[in-house]
Structure 1
Amino acid sequence: MAEAIHVFQGPNEYLLHHQVEAKIKSLNVDPFNIMRYDLLENKSEDILEDMQTISFFSEQKVIVIKNINVLDKEDEHIFNRWTTYFEKPNPDVFVIIEMIEALPKTSKTQNLLMKYAMIEKISDMEKKEYPEFVRNMFKKFNYSITDDAVTALLERTNYDFLLLSQEAEKLMLFSYDSKEIHEKEVILLVSRNLEENIFELTNALLAKDQSKTIEIFYDLVARNEDPLRILNFIVSKIRELIHTKLLIDKGYRQDEIAEHFNIRSGRAYYLLKNAKNADFNILETHLKKLSKLDFDIKSGKIDKKLGLELYLLGA
């Protein structure tokens, strides 16, 4: 009964969660009968028992499960119990499984899902689709937002869905009377996160987008960020990309990279993507040159702001 077990799989954690919540809402189930489990935190026995139990006060119960990949590490007895359930699921229960990425073809769990579950892939959005998404986000609440404001908001949140949602709420509250959002409101209320700025600056540097690189650098300096601190953050990001490329070569997946760096899955997705696109030799060259620049600044051979500015202009 594939209709009783539904898998949502996609690389964007926000979109994935949004789709799961939309599905739950469409089922019109009492909140009392919506249970959420994470196999990293909950025992298989407890989840199986709940799935086999009838719902209370309604005709259906929804059970949401994360980190289903843990089943591959369960002993044979427990895995067989899951297989038995999947073969004949409880008609009173609708099981929803959230997955960031598909498991390897060699995975027992993946084969189980392929055989007994309905799998829906949630595609990530391309950057060109974000502006329309942002406009619709505000339009849903009867707000309008200018194109300049959309661009500024996306730049300052670095296309992070969760951050976008949080900042949108703040902007709508501030503009409650006018229901109009302009670039000046975004600049006033949405601050640039240093780490995200450095992430964006590093990407622009590697893409040889000189104007973007310098624009971000000047913006950070205008906010009194220490150029030496900026340099150290860039070096850290380049090392992170090199580290990620080595992990990719070892066969690490997105979820494993997220766990390794202790970062959100969405952040790991972009780190993985950027690392794959980056040339290892170019990364090493930047690392060596920036290390030399760091030494020259600290030994007094060149001013820190001028030194980093010249480097970014010539990169």
Structure 2
Amino acid sequence: MPTYLYWGEDDFTLSKAVQELQKKVLDPNWLQFNYEQIAGNQADSLFQALNLAMTPVFGMGERLIWLKETSIFQNCSDDLLKELQRTLPNIPLTSHLLFTTSKKPDGRLKSSKIVQDYAQIQEFSLIPPWQIEEITKQVQKIAQEIGVKLTPDALQFLAEAIGNNTRQIYQELEKLALYSQTVSKPLEKKDLTSLVNIATQSSLQLATTIRQGDGAKALLIISDLLNCNEVPLRIIATLVGQFRTWTIIKLYLEANEKDDTVIAKAAEINNPKRIYFLKKEVQSVSSHKLLTSLSILLDLELSLKRGAEPLATLQTKVLELCHLFKKS
């Protein structure tokens, strides 16, 4: 099918997929005649894209029309719907129409349903930053793609240090690929600490420090994260995910649940063996404190979304959390 829908917040991997599509269908010598990129926020952008998609190829290769960051999957007029219904079934096989959006298409809208009937759909969503197992698998997959051999400890280190930043994962692994040509064995964690450009702290480390009630260390981690251009709301997302996981596990422990598989499923953890370690982490923490922490984190997220100054707001709420967990 000559129609495509790429969506998701992982703009780096989405861009790579667009580049692959360009290489596949376009002749570089005829690029200026057969390739158009259209901003999706323009009033007539969809009409323009559909008209260009129906235009015959000029010269060699095929045609690609990219409607970038389109809004038709969140709001679409009746006139646009009619044009979609009329055009999509008739796009020539030598023309390719690509829709991209960072937002998930609203499946209830007719525009989404029409495009889904004709389009090849790919999702490019970021892995939640607290799902370290999934991020580790992603790092391993990219390392194999680039040709870098890493020990299990090195893989875990990269996953925890970089998180779900796909762009940085590729950048660091590409650098490691050059270094690995000079060694004959898989790279170890000790090799990476001097080679990889990462924050010295991570949001997951911040969560652990808060749980331990160490306010001074928590403030240092916040400063380090912000100095490394970590997005405040992303920090909060990681904290919420981690404290939610701890809360679920603690509640199941208090309910005398013995089956780690049941607990893992409730906490959305793929590997039940991790439950043993997570149980130890919350052993001395009350469920009341964990539930209270989620309320504080919700207030923190709301304050940031309302435009509060990030550093001062993070410092205040994180100190409040540390005080909550500090042992008397």
- Corresponding position: 1:138 with 2:143: yes
Counterpart mapping for 1:111-260 below 5 A: 111-121=113-123, 127-178=132-183, 181-193=187-199, 197=202, 199-204=203-208, 208=211, 210=212, 225=220, 229=223
Question: For the residues of structure 2 that align with 1:59 and 1:228, how far apart are their CA atoms?
Answer: 51
**What SS class does the counterpart of residue 96 from structure 1 fall into?**
strand
| 1:160 CA drift (Å) | 1.6
Q: How many residues align?
A: 254
| Percent of pairs with identical residues | 17
Question: For the residues of structure 2 that align with 1:287 and 1:75, how far apart are their CA atoms?
Answer: 36
Moved more, 160-169 or 90-99: 90-99
1:232–1:160 Cα change, 3 Å: closer
Q: Deviations over 1:173-216 (max 9, x none)?
A: 3444226533233211324337x72x33454468x5x5xx97x9
1:231/1:308 contact within 8 Å kept: no
- Corresponding position: 1:282 with 2:293: yes
| 1:45 CA drift (Å) | 4.1
Moved more, 88-97 or 120-129: 120-129
1:10/1:99 contact within 8 Å kept: yes
Aligned equivalent of 1:83 = 85
2:132/2:160 contact within 8 Å kept: no
Question: For the residues of structure 2 that align with 1:142 and 1:281, how far apart are their CA atoms?
Answer: 46
1:89–1:280 Cα change, 3 Å: farther
Question: For the residues of structure 1 that align with 2:239 and 2:47, how far apart are their CA atoms?
Answer: 34
**Unaligned 5+ runs, structure 2:** 246-289, 300-318
What is the TM-score normalised by the length of structure 1?
Answer: 0.59
Look up the equivalent residue of 1:156 and give its one-letter code.
A
2:74/2:106 contact within 8 Å kept: no
Aligned equivalent of 1:56 = 58
Aligned equivalent of 1:39 = 40
Question: For the residues of structure 1 that align with 2:239 and 2:118, how far apart are their CA atoms?
Answer: 31
Structure of higher RCO (CA pairs closer than 8 Å, 6+ residues apart):
1
| 1:24 CA drift (Å) | 4.6
Look up the equivalent residue of 1:182 and give its one-letter code.
E
1:155–1:268 Cα change, 3 Å: closer
| 1:84 CA drift (Å) | 2.2
1:158/1:200 contact within 8 Å kept: no
**Unaligned 5+ runs, structure 1:** 241-266, 289-305
**What SS class does the counterpart of residue 112 from structure 1 fall into?**
helix
Aligned-residue RMSD, C-alpha: 4.8
What is the TM-score normalised by the length of structure 2?
Answer: 0.57
1:307–1:54 Cα change, 3 Å: closer
| 1:161 CA drift (Å) | 1.1
1:156–1:50 Cα change, 3 Å: same
Question: For the residues of structure 2 that align with 1:127 and 1:168, how far apart are their CA atoms?
Answer: 18
Question: For the residues of structure 2 that align with 1:48 and 1:287, how far apart are their CA atoms?
Answer: 43
Question: For the residues of structure 2 that align with 1:51 and 1:83, how far apart are their CA atoms?
Answer: 14
Moved more, 76-85 or 50-59: 76-85
1:272–1:43 Cα change, 3 Å: farther
